[in-house]
Structure 1
């Protein structure tokens, strides 16, 4: 059940918001050997939020540089870039385009289409606002964290290895977390 058709966010400004890549990060985590988690990061190429009067009508477009994958293990990173996983030679970016936003049971949710490895699937990010503020150079900024869980196999990321003790090397569920800061672009 949807709680609202519009919301009031103190400090919200209409117009265009552009990602500040120096203060933004995309991270992920996945089960490894079914006993621990591997974490990694991607560089954000671009992200733009078009903010109309009603924040629930805002539109987001973002692009992530998959070639920048970093798990702190060069051999694993190279394997992730290969055709076994992201196939960065043919699919160097991951893309997100929002299709709507809503408040449900008090949570702010952003629905959209996520494209990984040329395969597009609907996803929902749970969004937490960090707030708004002015930096020392007079730029009006906003911060937010968004999180979702996807099944990597839905995006063609199916490589795995069976373990002698049972189970598999790489889990199916990937938690994606976006820590973002954006700057308002005056009209």
Structure 2
């Protein structure tokens, strides 16, 4: 993929549209996966003349975690997991954008529970269009996998039959619409 392959690409500052975006995750639980999402977040995308000169920053309220189960959500907010009282936000700040073959990769610093690690998001640009309200809208999907223990999310429970309750890998999936700031 090249910049010219992104029809309508333009430089500028874009704000995430939270009503048309989703930040979700999945992690192994026993023999299946459970999923959750964050419902309170903000992000700014700054596109350069060249797509490789772009950057993104995101802030997510840790207490907005939602798995569809209030008891589990409450446990995830405790010091066993996100410790939202002491670490109210998760943040991402990009440090580089590059191509890996035809794929776009955004590298950046992810901070969770006060621990910052570099992660790579595989990014797919869904396109750029004009909304019915006259706004220029950019759609993306981004994926990465992190090891939760590397971010201090170490709680687990040994199983009588061997193994542990929770897997180590957490898959993060983002579907986002960004709206170009009108100048």
- The TM-score range, normalised by the shorter chain, is over 0.9
State which of 98, 116, 140 in structure 1 corresponds to 2:136: 140
Distance 1:146 1:48 in 2: 15
Residues 60-71 of structure 1: matches in 2 within 5 Å?
60-71=56-67
TM-score by length of 2: 0.96
The answer for unaligned runs of 5 or more in structure 2 is none
Stretch moving more, 116-125 or 68-77: 68-77
Q: Residue 12 of structure 1 is aligned with which of 9, 12, 16?
A: 9
Determine the structure 1 residue equivalent to 2:172: 176
Post-superposition Cα deviations, 1:87-135, rounded to whole Å, max 9, x if no partner, equal 0001111100000111112211000000000100000000011111111
**Distance (Å, rounded) in 2 between the aligned partners of 1:141 and 1:105:** 26
- Structure 1 CA distance for aligned equivalents of residues 132 and 65 of structure 2: 32
CA contact (8 A) 2:3 2:9 kept: no
- Calculate the aligned-residue CA RMSD, in Å: 1.2
Inter-partner Cα distance in structure 2 for 1:105 and 1:166: 41
Question: Which of 55, 69, 73 is 1:59 aligned to?
Answer: 55
**Structure 2 counterparts to residues 71-90 of structure 1, below 5 A:** 71-90=67-86
Unaligned 5+ residue runs, structure 1? none
**TM-score w.r.t. structure 1 length?**
0.94
| Count of residue pairs brought into register by the alignment | 182
Provide runs of 4+ in structure 1 moved above 2 Å: 6-9
